[in-house]
Copies of this chain bind each other. A is one copy, B any other.
Amino acid sequence: MSDTVVVGLDVGGTSTRAVALSLAGERLGTGRGGGGNPTSHGAERAAAELLTALRGALAGVDPARVRAGVIGLAGAGRLLADPAGRAAFDQAWAQAGLRCAYAVHGDALVAYASGTAAPDGTVLIAGTGAIAAQVRDLRLDRVADGHGWLLGDAGSGFWLGREAVRRLLADLDRGTSPGPLGARVLTELLGSVEVADRPRGTVDALVQAVTRRPPVELARLAPLVVTAAVEGEPVATGLIDEAAAHLVESVSRIRPADAVEPIVLGGGLLTGDTPLAAAVRAEAERRWPDAPVRTAGDGAAAAAWLAALDLPGVTDPVALHALLVPPTA
């Protein structure tokens, strides 16, 4: 056992992270690759980034010591259903010198496991999109939202960006001056806070500026809302509260009202000390007062922990989690 190494990978849209850990919790190596989501980048490209990250993590490790691995990624189900994609991942795994099997899990499960060792609970992720899932026996169970920007993703980065533009357009319709958040949005989209003498000209310019890009790019306005909310801007704080209510409503679709299992918050908008994370935490603690609310942390380490659980001789998953996965709030 003391010689055993596990490998975990967290494959995201902008980076791929890998870690090699001993079962005593020694961090034997880490590696990093570019964005590797097979849905958005293609399985070949994703597998290449996976290999880069794996080679980094295994630089000082005898690959024969690695007994198990887990790859966490968005769209895991689609990868597993695609023989060519699966073959590309198999090949990268072998090229890294690994002979053990590996499992593929959804990024939501890995985010969950990065925040808790509890086998049952809830994970809520808000980044560009938004999705909530119940976890049962460390497997994803029921899911809420994740319906994409056109039909869902309520409370996501896309939602925040779109609502910020909508509030600005409503102000222009009314003929009132944009507030601080509206001014930030004007500057970002039109390069100036100036409103035309005929505000409808500015309205038309804003609509055109948004509609000539892919809709999902509205999510790049979300940081403006977050920054304005940190400064106490009332429109922004109102949007943050609305977004938090949407996100918790999604959770309540799948989580019983009397549940006490942990809730893990993940995704760019809910990790770190953001006003949306604080608002969601407050609302979740109000609805489920007996449940711990945790923040997602090191996904690669959580993936390595999930890999270790299947090894013979691993009898105390909670103790192993404490050794392998860095603690979070």
Chain A residues in the interface with B (C-beta under 8 A)? 142-145, 147-148, 150-152, 162, 165-166, 169-170, 173-175, 200, 203, 206-207, 210-211, 215, 250, 253-254
Residue from the list B144, B170, B206 in contact with A253, Cβ < 8 A: B170
Given A253-B173, A254-B174, are A166 and B143 neighbors across the interface (CB < 8 Å)? no
Contact A152 B174 (CB under 8 A): no
Other 6 A-B pairs with CB < 8 A, given A148-B207, A151-B206 = A142-B175, A151-B165, A151-B166, A151-B210, A152-B169, A170-B253
Q: Which residues of B contact A250 (CB under 8 A)?
A: 173
Question: 7 A-B contacts, Cβ less than 8 Å apart?
Answer: A147-B203, A150-B162, A150-B215, A151-B165, A151-B169, A173-B253, A174-B253
Given A162-B151, A165-B151, A166-B151, are A173 and B254 neighbors across the interface (CB < 8 Å)? yes
Q: Which residues of B contact A173 (CB under 8 A)?
A: 142-145, 250, 253-254
CB proximity of A182 to chain B, nearest CB, Å: 14
For the complex, what is the distance from the CA of A143 to the CA of B203, rounded to whole Å?
10
Q: Which residues of B contact A162 (CB under 8 A)?
A: 150-151
For the complex, what is the distance from the CA of A204 to the CA of B162, rounded to whole Å?
23
Interface centre among A150, A151, A253 (most CB of B within 10 A): A151
Q: List the 5 closest pairs (A to B, CB-CB), nearest first.
A: A144-B173, A173-B253, A174-B253, A147-B169, A147-B207
CB proximity of A168 to chain B, nearest CB, Å: 10
Residue from the list B142, B143, B151, B166 in contact with A152, Cβ < 8 A: B166
Q: Which residues of B contact A144 (CB under 8 A)?
A: 173-174
For the complex, what is the distance from the CA of A150 to the CA of B211, rounded to whole Å?
8
CB proximity of A104 to chain B, nearest CB, Å: 18
Closest residue of B by beta carbon distance from A166: B151
Residue from the list B143, B207, B254 in contact with A151, Cβ < 8 A: B207
Contact A148 B211 (CB under 8 A): yes
For the complex, what is the distance from the CA of A198 to the CA of B273, rounded to whole Å?
36
For the complex, what is the distance from the CA of A250 to the CA of B174, rounded to whole Å?
9
Q: Which residues of B contact A142 (CB under 8 A)?
A: 173, 175, 200
